[in-house]
Structure 1
């Protein structure tokens, strides 16, 4: 007898699963067939997902609300998708995207074929977008450098009286603690400035 399972994932323990759970509960699935992970989608090494995958049999159906709940890396999703649908022989249905439904039904005669194509297209779009983002970032950094805009952390600006205060510390007119108080900076900033200015006591 074939079974229907659902998989829910959020990226961290502090995130809510309510939105996904609401959609899944409408399907009237047994709670024992709903698997939940509160973990990053960077790979498929997730406790509940691995338990679910171990339960999947030929003809079973796996339901997810959206493709990114399965994972966030499309290359890995395609590999996992292929394993489930071809190696195990189970079906996958993505609620947010009706075309991603591998079941063969009267109104969906080429489910696996169409789903595979859609998944490949999504993978291409995602990869292309990643490349575009990298290119835009590189162009933005290059343009900023050409305009003399500093990238990264703000450059350290020494207090105007820093060298005078340090000189007093060096001459034992002030202690380091007194110097930090006069300068109005933190202890870590005081010693960082010293390091950057290469001033030795």
Structure 2
């Protein structure tokens, strides 16, 4: 039986670059029905379309991916999955961005050895870059906070009835729950904003 070509695409929910990956796969003649797409993180392999691909792909079939980090970004997981596909399932893998990562070539001992080295290096680089991105984000957030930049969504404007409700609550005329209901606010939000307002009052 002839082997079948498959393509796998993964994008996170924040990025929309599946078109670029899809064009690259189509250029290799992979039919649309054989291209599987997941829109979620690459932190593990519990992805619906990837699992559907595994149920369909068989020995001697070829799996194409645009780059190694489309499989995932965790060094150990990528290596484990690569070995599972190539050794246990006997599937060939082609990484379009890295011609050396093409298991159809160099099936002798030296070819396999070189391919494994390249895979380990690239998997490490992918994971390292992910760690660097997280670190840069954390540093950026810390620097912004140091400059007094407020992060996150701005708080909702307070209703006009809020300040009167706070005064009546402080005087004991209303319970916290009643005051919150008068402002159409959750009780926890009422307490938080009331305490915040008290702290921000000028001396």
Tell whether the 8 Å contact from 2:106 to 2:112 is kept in structure 1 after alignment. Answer: no
The 5-angstrom pairing of residues 108-127 of structure 1 reads: 110-127=110-127
Larger Rg: 1
Give the corresponding residue for 2:28: 27
Cα deviation per residue 1:34-93 (whole Å; 9 max; x = unaligned)? 222222222111121112112222221110011111112222111100100111111111
How big is the shift at 1:189?
A: 7.5
Tell whether the 8 Å contact from 1:101 to 1:112 is kept in structure 2 after alignment. Answer: no
The structure-2 alpha-carbon separation of the partners of 1:77 and 1:12, relative to structure 1 and needing over 3 Å to count, comes to: same
Name stretches of at least 5 consecutive residues in structure 1 with no aligned partner: 155-165, 181-186
How big is the shift at 1:9?
A: 1.7
Tell whether the 8 Å contact from 1:103 to 1:111 is kept in structure 2 after alignment. Answer: no
Cα deviation per residue 1:163-192 (whole Å; 9 max; x = unaligned)? xxx7797459xxx79xx9xxxxxx988742
Is the partner of 1:101 in helix, strand or coil? Answer: coil
Report the TM-score, using the length of structure 1 for normalisation. 0.65
Give the corresponding residue for 1:73: 74
How big is the shift at 1:111?
A: 3.9
Query: Aligned equivalents of 2:12 and 2:143: distance in 1?
Result: 34
More displaced, 15-24 or 122-131? 122-131
Cα deviation per residue 1:127-185 (whole Å; 9 max; x = unaligned)? 555666778889999999xxx8889979xxxxxxxxxxx7797459xxx79xx9xxxxx
Is the partner of 2:124 in helix, strand or coil? Answer: helix
Is the partner of 2:100 in helix, strand or coil? Answer: coil
How big is the shift at 1:4?
A: 1.4
Give the corresponding residue for 2:155: none
Tell whether the 8 Å contact from 2:72 to 2:78 is kept in structure 1 after alignment. Answer: yes
Give the corresponding residue for 1:162: none
How big is the shift at 1:26?
A: 1.0
More displaced, 20-29 or 10-19? 10-19
